Amino acid sequence: MQLFLNMGPIFRALMGQRFSAILVVVQIAITMAIITNGLAITWERFLHIERHTGIDEQNTFFLTSSGFTQDFNPRATIESDLRLIRATNGVIDAVQTNSFPLSDSGNWYELQTTTDKDAALIPAASYKFDEHGINTFGLTLVAGENFSAQDTLWLDEADSQWPSHVLISKATATALFGESHWQTAVGKTLFVNQNTPLIVKGIVKQLHAPWVEWPHVEKTIISPARVTHNSARYVIRTQPGRLNDLMQSVTAKLAKENTQRVIRKVKSIQQAKDEIYAADIATVSILLVVIVVLAFVTAMGVAGLASFNIDKRRQQIGIRRALGASKAQILQYFMLENALLCSVGAVLGVLLTFMLNLFLVDRYSLTPLPLLYVPIGVLILFFISQLAVIKPAVRAMSVSPAMATRSI
């Protein structure tokens, strides 16, 4: 009941101080629009960065072996290197591959279940590695079986031949055979570029394409092959806690084993991830700083205006205290006044939030704002404004009736 009795005096007081009231409302509305959209963008980018690629990111590194002499034998070097790496203490497994997630390089092909020209074409990134690839990447086989050593072909760089059997990701199987029938892909025949038949031998739970911004990043196909080239990429998976020392020791062993090549581009998967997502990480960091600074500035603005208004109304406060208003009622009065201003600012803020989001979607092709963020933005602004006005309101309720009435 006391809350409703306070509404009349609050409205009259605000009407007498329109400028400061409007300033608070506009500040809250602008802050809400920026914070709400900023939080949505930050969370979207965070989820984008934290997507799991399907491989053991924490314990895996890669390197490139590049031959530079005329006598360099790519195939013999690959076979020798893999024996040496796999026999190294602390190495779980290793594989030579054309590409890997986060490498930002590779090939993709279009798959379909028939050779019909009207059949749906499903794009899928192509990986080539032998039967050790599943263990090296840390992939989970959810249907079918892995390659055998007999399945693996040696191919030249320009060779367009495909092995007869392939593995595909669950996302690829789902796109080809439907959400409820993806398991049936095992044993079925696929066609690459409408003409080359391939039999699906197994399905892995998840394996991302090499390109993080590719719209079909979950769709991949794996063929059992080793490609001979003067530059060979090796992916090496280590036991937990052994990554850093094995990156150094394996590099040194390979360099010593064959002096007709150089070992370069030695990086962990986590390092590659940090580099490829550097722009996203910077965006998230900047947005978080902007959100925190803007929230602080808004809180200081609300507190400052509240203090200014209280100083101008000390006599009014003293009179209310002399008429019997308790300290708690004075505190309640100014908290309610601030809540009313915040409510008006929130209504205006909702409109500005959607206007800003429409601009960002149109200009920068961002994702439309999920409605969930609107009440989150409102709650954040209410919390900030109420927290900011506590100190001035506590100072107001400490005004003595005697001090306030001396000027009467």
Spatial CA neighbour of 322 closest among 407, 401, 408, 405? 401
Query: What's the confidence (pLDDT) of residue 1?
Result: 44
Same domain, 238 and 287: no
The reply to whether 221 falls in a domain is: yes
| Range of the structural domain that residue 230 is part of | 73-259
Q: How many domains does the chain have?
A: 2
Q: For 3-17, what is the mean pLDDT?
A: 58
Give all strands (DSSP E) within 252-389, no chain letters: 261-268
pLDDT digits (tens, 9 = 90+) for 371-405: 999 999 999 999 999 999 888 888 877 777 765 55
Cβ atoms 302, 389 nearer than 8 A: yes
Q: Tens digit of pLDDT for each residue in 14-37?
A: 566 677 788 889 999 999 999 999
Mean pLDDT of 164-176: 96
- Looking up tokens 């919390």 gives 383
Percent of the chain with pLDDT over 70: 92
**How much is the average pLDDT of 307-314?**
77
- Evaluate if residue 44 carries a pLDDT over 90: yes
Whether 114 and 175 share a structural domain: yes
**Domain match, 214 and 80 both:** yes
Domain-embedded: residue 62:
no
Is residue 66 a part of any domain in this protein?
Answer: no
pLDDT band with cut points at 50, 70 and 90 for residue 407: low
Could you tell me which residues come within 8 angstroms of residue 282 by beta carbon, excluding any fewer than 6 positions away? none
Q: Are residues 98 and 190 in the same domain?
A: yes
Res. 314: pLDDT tops 80: no
Report whether 237 contacts 56 (CB < 8 A): yes
Domain assignment present for 63: no
